[in-house]
Amino acid sequence: MNRLGTGFWCGIFLLSSVASAQDPQFASVTETVLSLRNYAQSHPDTKGAIPDVTVAKHQIRDWIETRLAGFPRNGNGADLSNYFHEAINKAKLFCDDDDDCLPTALGFLDEIEVTRDHGYLIVKTAVGVGIWCGYDNSAYIYEWKDSKWQRAWENEQDDYSKDAYHPQMLHSVRLSDPDKDGTRLILTLGSRTGCLAAFKTFYYRVWRTGTPNPILDKSETLNDEGEPPVIGKLSTDDLLIEFSAGGTGYGFPHKALRHYEFHGTTAIQTDPIAPTARDFVEEWLAAPWQDSAARSGSRALREWHTKLHRDDAQGDYPEPAMQCTSDPSVVSIATHLEEMPKRYFLVRVMDPSGQTTPPLHFIMANISDQPIADCTKPDPAADRQPSLIPANQ
Task: List Cα–Cα distances, 101 to 42, 130, 153, in angstroms.
Answer: 14, 10, 31
- Establish if 95 belongs to a structural domain: yes
Q: Are residues 286 and 250 located together in one domain of the fold?
A: no
Q: Characterize 153-172 residue by residue with b for buried, 16 or more Cβ atoms within 10 angstroms of its Cβ, and e for exposed.
A: bebbbeebeeeebebbbbbb
Share of the chain above pLDDT 90, in %: 55
pLDDT at 384: 73
The closest of 66, 35, 54 to 161, measured between CA atoms, is 54
Share of the chain above pLDDT 70, in %: 83
In the sheet that holds 216-223, the strands lie side by side as 168-175, 185-192, 199-208, 216-223
Q: Are residues 300 and 266 located together in one domain of the fold?
A: no
Residue 52's pLDDT band, with cuts at 50, 70 and 90, is confident
pLDDT at 367: 96
pLDDT at 272: 92
pLDDT at 340: 77
Residue 341's pLDDT band, with cuts at 50, 70 and 90, is confident
Q: Encode pLDDT of 254-286 as tens digits.
A: 899 999 999 999 999 999 999 989 889 989 998
pLDDT at 347: 94
Q: Are residues 343 and 248 located together in one domain of the fold?
A: no
pLDDT at 17: 43
Please state whether beta strands 135-145 and 254-263 pair in parallel, antiparallel, or not at all (unpaired): unpaired
Instruction: Please say whether the beta carbons of 59 and 28 come within 8 A.
Output: yes
Give me the phi and psi of 107, to 5 degrees please.
Answer: 95, 10
Q: Are residues 287 and 271 located together in one domain of the fold?
A: no
Q: Encode pLDDT of 358-367 as tens digits.
A: 567 899 999 9
Show which of 249, 275, 301 is a domain's final residue: 275
The closest of 194, 256, 268, 252 to 222, measured between CA atoms, is 256
Question: Does residue 378 have a pLDDT over 80?
Answer: yes
Show which of 275, 299, 332 is a domain's final residue: 275
- Establish if 271 belongs to a structural domain: yes
* Interatomic CA distance for residues 81 and 115, integer angstroms: 9
Q: Are residues 167 and 30 located together in one domain of the fold?
A: yes
- Establish if 350 belongs to a structural domain: yes
Give me the phi and psi of 228, to 5 degrees please.
Answer: -80, 155
Q: Are residues 289 and 348 located together in one domain of the fold?
A: yes
Specify the amino acid at residue 159. Answer: D
Residue 22's pLDDT band, with cuts at 50, 70 and 90, is low
Residue 3's pLDDT band, with cuts at 50, 70 and 90, is very low
Show which of 211, 245, 275 is a domain's final residue: 275
pLDDT at 18: 45
Average pLDDT over the chain reads 85
Helices 51-68 & 77-90, crossing angle to 10 degrees? Answer: 130
Q: Are residues 265 and 313 located together in one domain of the fold?
A: no
Task: List Cα–Cα distances, 63 to 66, 125, 353, in angstroms.
Answer: 5, 11, 51
Q: Are residues 243 and 186 located together in one domain of the fold?
A: yes
pLDDT at 12: 40
Q: Characterize 103-137 residue by residue with b for buried, 16 or more Cβ atoms within 10 angstroms of its Cβ, and e for exposed.
A: bbbbbbbbebbbeeeeebbbbbbbbbbbbebbbbb
Burial (0-12, 13-18, 19+ Cβ within 10 Å), 15: exposed
- How many structural domains does the chain have? 2
pLDDT at 123: 98
Question: Does residue 4 have a pLDDT over 70?
Answer: no
Per the structure, the complete domain to which residue 370 belongs is given by 278-383
Q: Encode pLDDT of 168-213 as tens digits.
A: 899 999 999 999 999 999 999 999 886 666 788 899 999 999 898 9
Q: Are residues 345 and 262 located together in one domain of the fold?
A: no
- Establish if 393 belongs to a structural domain: no
Residue 19's pLDDT band, with cuts at 50, 70 and 90, is very low
pTM greater than 0.85 (yes/no): yes
As beta bridge partners, residue 150 has: 143
